[in-house]
Amino acid sequence: MFQIDNYTRVSEFFIVGFPSLPSEYFELVAWFFFFLYVITVVGNLLLIVVFALETSLQKPMYITMVSLALSDIGFSTVALPKIIARYWWNDGSLGFYTCIFQEHMVHYFGSLNSLILLSMALDRYLAICFPFRYPMLMTNQIMAALNVFCWVVAHIFPGISTINVTVLPFCGPNKIIQVFCDRTSLTALVCGDTSREYSIAYAIAMFILYVPLAFIIFSYICIIISILRMASVQGRIKAFSTCATQGCILSIYYIPRFFVYTAPFIPNLKMTADMRILTTVFYSLLPPVINPFIYCLRTSEIKTIFRSWFQKLKGITPTKQSQIVAGTRIH
């Protein structure tokens, strides 16, 4: 408990970013984050547009992809504009409640992504382990309802954490050593002993991230067993390819998070502020950038759609193209 009386709460916070970064590199870093944001928004919006225009993609798996794309856009929009402004115009100031709101939304989208990845793993588990019952077990309506449920439930634990943060005594330091407001950075600015707060934040983070991960790992073990029992070699390759794509995203999402959250509790493991921030940027901002490209490049249906769109833009339909090739062969 904090026994601090007669203190003046800080009215605003300042996003520092990388504390050891020389000022001559500020503009370069601003451009990096700006391009990261543009690529994230454009890539994920493209995936959403393709899904909306092509009825052939309106299946449970693609509903989850769209949900993840919307979440990635939301996270990037919450997290990146202020750090871009900080490095371009030295405008890193955030009002107290604006920072608290950003902290809530950052952890909300982190929780949401964890739940969406769980729903994605559940979809693959049912599709591969119960292929004949899959059309009845997982319809578009069920998957849409499951994703809406994820978007609502993801507010619970970040909401509890946010309410707890608002009553903590912030009586002096106001520099956020991070690229956005998060629970760890805010707790570091609390006046008094914060060991209990760190423990609570760590426990909540582990529960939100690794309870879904436990179910995801269990589902993938079942999937691998089912794949190994498949008679068709082509079927095995296709199933493993799908799982490898999602496994890559899961590894980027979960492993660095565990490293950052656990580092303060390991006595001989010391992370500099810049290394901690760089790791956070890696696991927070890399997946939203690469997710649409991984899914577009690894999904044959989406590649086929892009190929047909490209042919239409060039004024060549598949039929015309085959006629041209046939005419060339005759001559």
List pLDDT tens digits, range 105-133: 999 998 999 899 889 888 888 888 888 88
The overall average pLDDT reported for the chain is 81
pLDDT at 124: 83
List pLDDT tens digits, range 140-180: 999 999 999 999 999 998 888 888 888 888 887 889 999 99
Q: Say yes or no to pLDDT of 321 above 60.
A: no
Cβ neighbours of residue 135 closer than 8 Å, sequence gap 6 or more: none
pLDDT tier, 331 (very low <50, low <70, confident <90, very high otherwise): very low
User: Taking each helix axis from N to C terminus, what angle separates 140-153 and 60-89, rounded to the nearest 10 degrees?
Assistant: 30
CA distance 75 to 236: 35
pLDDT at 129: 84
Q: SS3 sequence, 114-166?
A: HHHHHHHHHHHHHHHHCCCCHHHHCCHHHHHHHHHHHHHHCCHHHHHHHHHHH
Asked if residue 284 lies in contact with residue 71, where contact means CB atoms within 8 angstroms, the answer is no
pLDDT at 6: 58
pTM of the complete model beyond 0.85: no
List pLDDT tens digits, range 200-230: 777 877 788 778 888 888 888 888 888 777 6
Nearest to 37 by CA among 176, 158, 151, 179: 179
Q: Say yes or no to pLDDT of 326 above 50.
A: no
Least confident of 18-27, 51-60, 235-244: 235-244
Least confident of 19-23, 195-199, 289-293: 195-199
pLDDT tier, 22 (very low <50, low <70, confident <90, very high otherwise): very high
Compute the average pLDDT of residues 271-293: 85
Q: Say yes or no to pLDDT of 235 above 70.
A: no
